[in-house]
Amino acid sequence: MAWEPRLIVIACQWCTYQGADLAGSLRYSYPPTVHIIRVPCSGRVEPEFIAEALKKGADGVFIGGCHFGDCHYKEGNYKAIRRFKLFKRLATDLGVEPERIQLEWISGSEGKRFAEAMTEFDAKIRELGPNPLKGGANV
Amino acid sequence: MSKPKLAYYLAGGCGGCDMAVVDISEALVDVAMALDIVFWAPTVADVKYKDLEAMPSGSIDVGLFSGNVRNSEHEHIAKVMRDKCKILIALGICATSGGIKSLVNLHTTEQLLETAYINTYSTDNPDKVFPQTQYVVDNKYELTLPKLMDARTLDQVVKVDYYIGGCPPHHEHVAKAVTALLSGQLPPPGSWITMGKAVCEVCDKNPVLTGKSKEFAKSVKRIYEGTPDPEKCLLEQGYLCLGPVTQGDCGSKCPSVDIPCRGCGGPIPGVKDYGLRAVSAIASMLDNEELVDQIPDPVHLFYRYTLAGSFLGKRLKR
Ligand code: SF4
Ligand code: SF4
Ligand code: SF4
Ligand code: FES
């Protein structure tokens, strides 16, 4: 069977998750390779979550949170971006392709942007090919 | 009652952990006297591999294994130790998590040999002679050397019953562990032997312990930049101290002399990947996003002692 990417999207329940919902109600289509996990806030996303997804064979991990100023818990997204950037530097230095991990702020009203972002992410990962970590690294 | 039998093996380590164990004999003559040391290679006892191999399975009560597994000989003895010892303990951060020496996994064996035998300034090797795993002298004597491999933690090779962090573990901590062992007061198998507190919790610079709250770091500094205020938390001052995520069984040795903790104690309980948790803790303590880019070389900072045991274990493209 031809390879199909598996994309994990970790979405904040107050914004990106609702953006996904809106994309659905407005019938914007986005690739079926996307698997969404809902979290209370992007500040809840630990580097371990991203690593775990990659280790278990996700071909890409996308984190979606509220725009600055809109985080329900005020500072969760500021913390999220610091952690994300530092994790990305660490992982990239160790040879993980930086394109496999992304973060973007997508609000609940940006259904269209959500669908676009997913389509772009899917295309980028198809270009990159399967995650070389699959079954390879330490478990 | 006959004395419990102890075996000790130093694999890909430096001998520092051996010293930490030898050091307890002063404080605890009774402990040392209470043990029958049946094997301690290569540093202390003159017992050969073949003697260890000849001992019955499960005949040794406790095995201490220090150093990481870096070559075929370490791997073989790790398996022999597992077979002979009822309880096998990974002693020190090399055995538990890879140690500083597992940073070799950032490079291939070929690259490392090239550096050590050709490119170093003080090396004179015009014929490009490299160590061989097999060599025949005078057409009749066959000599062998172990084969180098990526560094691994002990538990990536055999099942481990207990873990003791530290580089080396502080001898008082080793003494406590040995006492617990001899009196049968051990945590459930698979655990780290630790008091369970982070370095921060035993650090006298910690503002939280005096009822204040911890401030964000407003800069990122290397230890040679400026002189830290000895009264203040190093992390607040921008020195990236890993005390929040490191087991404090050393009693906060480094911060007590104004040096940031680098994580030799190993991860606080519940943490699988030390470096990732450290990334999370440090990023959370930084005042702003720009500071993230000022951290020089995150791999050597966050995985200094734990690369082999990390989720990747090595650099993927070398
Ligand atoms: S943990 Fe440290 S002291 Fe122990 S063997 Fe490894 S490098 Fe040496
Ligand atoms: S971060 Fe370091 S200096 Fe600050 S309280 Fe923790 S151990 Fe002490
Ligand atoms: S303070 Fe940290 S680096 Fe220093 S001895 Fe303790 S655990 Fe090791
Ligand atoms: S609530 Fe959405 S990022 Fe914090």
B183-229 residue pLDDT tens: 888 899 999 999 999 999 999 999 999 999 999 999 999 999 999 99
DSSP state of A71: -
What spacing in Å lies between the alpha carbon of B295 and ligand 3's midpoint?
A: 20
Rounded Cα–Cα distance for residues A44 and A77 (Å): 9
**Is B272 within 8 Å of chain A by CB?**
yes
**In DSSP terms, which residues pair with A105 in a beta bridge?**
A65
What spacing in Å lies between the alpha carbon of B108 and ligand 3's midpoint?
A: 29
**Is B309 within 8 Å of chain A by CB?**
yes
Residue A83 and residue B312: Cβ atoms within 8 Å? Answer: no
Q: Say what the pLDDT of residue B31 is.
A: 65
Q: Measure CB to CB from residue B283 to each of A82, A96, A138 and give the nearest one.
A: A82
What does pTM read for this prediction? Answer: 0.95
* Averaged pLDDT for residues B157-178: 94
B 38-67 residues with CB < 8 A to A: none
The amino acid sitting at B306 is: T
B133 and B54 both lie in a single domain: no
Question: Contact B270/B197 with Cβ under 8 angstroms?
Answer: no
Residue B12 belongs to a domain with what CATH number?
A: 3.40.50.700
Residue extents of the structural domains in chain A: 7-128
Rounded Cα–Cα distance for residues B225 and B237 (Å): 11
* Averaged pLDDT for residues B103-130: 96
B292 and B160 both lie in a single domain: no
What is each CA distance from A97 to A59, A93, A131, A134, B261, in whole angstroms?
Answer: 10, 9, 9, 14, 30
How many domains, chain B? 3
* Averaged pLDDT for residues B15-34: 79
Residue B295 and residue A89: Cβ atoms within 8 Å? Answer: yes
A 37-96 residues with CB < 8 A to B: 46-48, 51-52, 54-55, 78-79, 81-83, 85-87, 89-91, 93-96
Rounded Cα–Cα distance for residues A26 and A39 (Å): 23
Indicate whether B46 pLDDT > 80.
yes
Decide if B174 is inside a domain.
yes
Predicted-assembly ipTM surpassing the 0.90 threshold: yes
What is each CA distance from B115 to A25, B108, B130, in whole angstroms?
Answer: 60, 11, 11
Question: Contact A137/A55 with Cβ under 8 angstroms?
Answer: yes
| Domain end residue (candidates: B192, B216, B250) | B192
Instruction: Give the confidence band of B288 by pLDDT, cuts at 50, 70, 90.
Output: very high
Encoding tokens for residue B285?
């303590």
- Give the up-direction half-sphere exposure of residue B22: CA atoms within 13 A in the CB hemisphere: 9
Q: Measure CB to CB from residue A90 to each of B272, B279, B316 and give the nearest one.
A: B279
**Is B277 within 8 Å of chain A by CB?**
yes
What is each CA distance from B77 to A15, B10, B53, in whole angstroms?
Answer: 55, 10, 9
Q: Measure CB to CB from residue B276 to each of A51, A81, A85 and give the nearest one.
A: A51
Residue B276 and residue A82: Cβ atoms within 8 Å? Answer: no
* Pick among 3.40.50, 3.10.20, 1.10.10, 2.160.20: CATH of A7-128: 3.40.50
Residue with tokens 């904040």: A12
Is the CB of A19 inside a 6 Å radius of any atom of ligand 4?
Answer: no
Ligand closest in space to the Cα of B20: 1
Report the nearest atom of ligand 3 relative to the CA of B167: 8
Rounded Cα–Cα distance for residues B242 and B235 (Å): 8
Q: Say what the pLDDT of residue A109 is.
A: 97
Residue B276 and residue A133: Cβ atoms within 8 Å? Answer: no
In chain A, which residues have their Cβ closer than 8 Å to the Cβ of B295? Answer: 86, 89
* Averaged pLDDT for residues B46-71: 97
**Is B105 within 8 Å of chain A by CB?**
no
The amino acid sitting at B254 is: C
B80 and B39 both lie in a single domain: yes
Indicate whether A136 pLDDT > 80.
no
**Is B313 within 8 Å of chain A by CB?**
yes
What spacing in Å lies between the alpha carbon of B254 and ligand 3's midpoint?
A: 5
Decide if B318 is inside a domain.
no
For B259, the domain range is 194-312
Question: Contact B102/B151 with Cβ under 8 angstroms?
Answer: yes
* Averaged pLDDT for residues B119-136: 94
Instruction: Give the confidence band of A138 by pLDDT, cuts at 50, 70, 90.
Output: very low
The amino acid sitting at A53 is: A
Alpha carbon of B88: minimum distance to chain A alpha carbons (Å):
21
What is each CA distance from B166 to A40, B50, B69, B148, B293, in whole angstroms?
Answer: 37, 30, 17, 25, 29
What spacing in Å lies between the alpha carbon of B264 and ligand 3's midpoint?
A: 5
Please provide the DSSP assignment of B109-165 as one string: HHHHHHIIIIISTT---TT-----SEEEETTTEEEE-PPEEEEE-GGGTS--SEEE-
Instruction: Give the confidence band of A137 by pLDDT, cuts at 50, 70, 90.
Output: very low
Question: Contact B266/B163 with Cβ under 8 angstroms?
Answer: yes
| Ligand 1, pocket-test mutation among B10, B96, B167, B304, most atoms within 8 A of CB | B167
Rounded Cα–Cα distance for residues B11 and B78 (Å): 8
Residue A82 and residue B284: Cβ atoms within 8 Å? Answer: yes
H helix count then E strand count, chain A? 4, 4
* Averaged pLDDT for residues B6-21: 96
Q: Say what the pLDDT of residue B28 is.
A: 61
Q: Say what the pLDDT of residue B134 is.
A: 95
Decide if B317 is inside a domain.
no
Report the nearest atom of ligand 2 relative to the CA of B206: 5
Name the residue at shortest CA distance from atom 2 of ligand 1: B167
Is the CB of B255 inside a 6 Å radius of any atom of ligand 2?
Answer: yes
Indicate whether A56 pLDDT > 70.
yes
Encoding tokens for residue A125?
């990962």
DSSP state of B12: B
B48 and B178 both lie in a single domain: yes
Report the nearest atom of ligand 3 relative to the CA of B247: 7
